[in-house]
Structure 1
């Protein structure tokens, strides 16, 4: 009697079902990687902007221009306009200091007294990853938006601030 080797149809179906169940449970973890990566990128941009802000302020202190507005300091990235020692919230200020790549980041200058969905309030500038639609009215870190917001110093006693919202990344 000749013995046959191989898998039966039932064994093959059971293996396919088990692999399907594993794929369904593992797929959400792989799909979520892009959102986690985008959120990490936004947090990295926040840290870069904070570092640039502090570097410019330190340079202003050395130059003795931290109490004046407007002024400017020179960094490796070029001349940075300042207000009370901190970079201004525009292309000549924090954008030069932070040096975020324009291909990867979209800069939105603030207008008006209050933030709108598509624009931050006056005295602020928002940065969001290219291809993402931010909501600048969202301020909680876990809110439904994906952006970094830099708010310029308003006087000598109120320093510039940087915040990030990553809940919608």
Structure 2
């Protein structure tokens, strides 16, 4: 009788099947690239908003409008409404300044919602993470906040306080 070494064919098949089952059930829990991509895109938009805010403030400072309550400057050929030198939290303020193609058509990547208050706030999110309907990218029913994947821009409250940009929620990305 020969001395056998190695695995039988049935043992190898069982190991392959078990590994396949583990890969199908466990791997998606550890590798969630789409969530990471949405969170990174949100951080990228935060940087774009900060850059647009600083550009608008710089233009306001050059024109001597950084301390006035309200003003308008032209950024890349588009009028941007300002409050104390920073873009207003509105469609004609920070949304115009960012120029990220906020839902000018149905294929847009980003949507926003203006939340009125003192001061106003704009909530921005990727359209793929928001349920509900909006008109030209503008939502008004709280749909963006329920997505749990958004950032906020709060207008300057006075000439001593700068506008605030923050990724408020990214747990739903």
Q: Same fold (TM over 0.5)?
A: yes
Report the TM range for the smaller structure's normalisation.
Answer: 0.7 to 0.9
Find the aligned partners of 1:77 and 1:99 in 2 and give their Cα distance.
11
- Per the alignment, residue 83 of structure 2 pairs with 83
How far 1:154 moved relative to its partner?
1.4
Aligned to 1:124: 121
| Counterpart among 141, 145, 169 of residue 135 in structure 1 | 145
Give the unaligned 5+ runs of structure 1: 1-6, 114-121, 137-143
Quote the Cα distance in structure 1 between the aligned partners of 2:117 and 2:66. 26
So what's the TM-score if we normalise by structure 1?
Answer: 0.78
Partner of 2:115: 110
Q: Distance in 2 between matches of 1:107 and 1:77?
A: 22
For residues 150-161 of structure 1, what are the structure 2 equivalents within 5 Å? Answer: 150-161=153-164
Count of residue pairs the alignment pairs up: 147
Deviations 1:4-40 (A, max 9, x none): xxx733432222213322443322233x211111111
TM-score (norm 2): 0.76
Structure 2 unaligned blocks of 5 or more: 1-7, 131-143
Q: Output one character per residue of 1:57-94: Cα deviation in whole Å (capped at 9) or x when no partner.
A: 01111111111121111111511111111001111110
Asked if the contact 2:123–2:145 (Cα under 8 Å) also holds between the matched residues in 1, the reply is no
Residue of structure 2 in register with 1:8 after alignment: 9
* Residue 152 of structure 1, CA deviation: 0.5
Cα separation, 1, equivalents of 2:86 and 2:117: 21
Q: CA RMSD in A?
A: 2.0
Cα distance 1:65–1:159, how it changes in 2: closer, same or farther (>3 A)? same
| Equivalent-residue separation in structure 2 for 1:19 and 1:131 (angstroms) | 31
